[in-house]
Structure 1
Amino acid sequence: MACADVDMDIHGTDEELLRANRREPPMMRHYQALELLPDNKRPLHDLLQKQPAVLGSLQVVSGFLSVGVGIVFAVTQEMGESLFSLFRVSQLTGALFIVAGVVSNLLFKYPALLPVSLMVNCGCIIVAVVAACLISVDLAHWTQENDQHLRMEVLELCVMGLEVFLSAVLCFWFSKERLDKSP
């Protein structure tokens, strides 16, 4: 948006009277900005150009998918059958990624949440790695009778891989922004 400091008074009324007496068409006048002033950049402008809210929204959606898979596991499987259902891995990682996605979405309105979002996303990566290890142990002890649960654990492992990738990208962007802004 352009701004200018221009005198807005209309000058030249004598010329208009002379034109009116000679029956010439009136002269059109318009105002134009003479000096462009730069726009003020908001905090985290460069980071927000990368659209972290989109990745945050993907985190929320994948978190809901994880919670849904966890609910299906809780209903269809005995508590002690696998580490996945015993420790409620899917519900825990899903809830954490929902929180991380919401915090990443709030950065546009509240730039002071940048360190919180960085820490939450780093924590999500750590929890997801531990959860992937628990799922791997379950997959190593796989038996023929729980074939359907195996597929769902593999689905959850893939969803966690997506969540870790999203969090890693966001952590990289957030840490880069923090390093750029530090004195």
Structure 2
Amino acid sequence: MKIILDAGHGPNTAGKRTPDGKMKEYEFNSTVTRLIKKELDRFGIIVIFSHSDEKDVPLRERTTLANKLKVQAFISIHANAYGSNWNDVNGIETFTYTKPSSDSVILAKHIQESLCTAVERKDRGVKKKDLAVLRDTNMPAVLVECGFMTNQEEARLLQTDDYRLKCATGIATGIKLWVKKFQLEEV
């Protein structure tokens, strides 16, 4: 089993940060993807990154890589935002494309449930959205939002090692549950 983990955005993406500027979204995203990879390596899943710590990788390059390598899943990790100022919007949500495959829906549900359990935050549900990384991939694809950078409480959490590890563990658990189902269907 081969999957792509995508740390959303990039190290130089403008505007993707907490309102006080203390954390860039990519800092959270890339840390969590490394932690997920560590967990999935132990499970025997081959993890490929579509992002780079050196530069912003365009979305088209990310989806082209996934399609070229014929990975079994594409999972993009993010920290959410509502506007650009502090507010009360909070919680976890996972997105599929507007016309998702049944495997994408199952993957999203497993990740959403496992992540919400791990971090004990509000469950905002599995939602559909027309996003390039979901639309332009030929395999099950989901985009995970691990909390709001524009919510002061969640912004503090997003910056802690403990919360990042909980996010990674929850997402990895959801992926492993999906992989087990996927492998059972292949038999």
In the superposition, the TM-score normalised over structure 2's length comes to 0.28
Question: Which structure shows the bigger proportion of residues in strand conformation?
Answer: 2
Question: Which structure shows the bigger proportion of residues in helix conformation?
Answer: 1
Greater RCO, 1 or 2 (C-alpha within 8 Å, sep 6+): 2
In the superposition, the TM-score normalised over structure 1's length comes to 0.28
